[in-house]
Amino acid sequence: MKRKHKIVSTTSVRLSAHEKLCAERMSTLIKTIDELRGDVKQLHSDMNKGKGVIAFLIIIGALLGSVLAILKFVK
């Protein structure tokens, strides 16, 4: 009977050590995922700003092109 009790006790200790290790890994993963979410949000906002700048430059270019075309045909 002692042998079964010792095996159960050893298994229990190993299992609790494994659960502790897994909990630590999970907390690390959760922190990393939260950081990545923040980075993705920042990159998304930067990308939207870039799209806005490109649209603005296209509009300015179109206006300048129109003005130059009008000035060319007026002469």
Strands (DSSP E) along the chain, which ranges? none
Global pTM? 0.57
How does pLDDT run along the chain (75 residues), one tens digit per residue? 455 555 566 767 777 888 888 999 999 999 999 999 999 999 999 999 999 999 999 999 999 999 999 988 886
